[in-house]
Copies of this chain bind each other. A is one copy, B any other.
Amino acid sequence: MTVTQERPAINGVDVPTLFATLDAVKGQPEIADFKFRATNRWVSGVQSRSTYTGFYGAMQELEHAHATEVVSDHPAVLVGQDQGPAAVEYLLHAIAACLTSGIGNIASARGVELHSVSSTVEGDINLLGILGLAPEGAGVRNGYEQIKVTFHIDGDADEETLRGIVEQSRRRSAVYDALTNPTPVVIDVVVADQ
């Protein structure tokens, strides 16, 4: 702990508060039960917008500091108005941002100063799947065949240490798990009275 006490706000991470949070959860594991939420509204065509306002966590309803709205559409080549990235493109942000937040926390907990972390993400998808045009038995799925994340990382540590931080982030990543392992998705439909 010596290192973290000497550099409490390394990388913009308040390390003492991070460790205090871990201690609090150890003492009362119910704190760790979270429910994240979004509300989506269809606009027109294939465009929709989601709003994030609140969530449940630490045994209470909480609000984000400010509401965020994000928009999805299709590009013109996929018969949309291109008012925003396609839904499937948001998965690419999610995986990059999740791994990067882990890198920020883990590097800080280990007393490693980061200079820069950037990544490019590419997802290969064969749209024959969602278009319903894949030949029978061709094994074409609806989603990404593969997502590749390439990190460029620069920090005050040797290569092995920096690689170890990325690897630990992968091991603890919520989005990496949600994508690489099956996540149950339940869909309920309420139809308006005619």
Contacts and interface: CB of A to CB of B under 8 A. Distances in A.
Interface of A: 11-14, 17-18, 21-22, 25-26, 29, 32-48, 50, 52, 55, 57-58, 62, 64-66, 68, 70-105, 114-133, 141-154, 158-159, 162-163, 166, 170, 172-192, 194
12 contacts: A35-B124, A36-B88, A38-B96, A40-B96, A70-B70, A91-B91, A142-B174, A143-B178, A147-B186, A148-B187, A154-B192, A159-B191
Contact of A65 (B76, B87, B100, B166): B76
Which of A41, A84, A114, A178 neighbours the largest number of chain B CB atoms within 10 Å of its CB? A178
A49 to B, nearest CB: 8
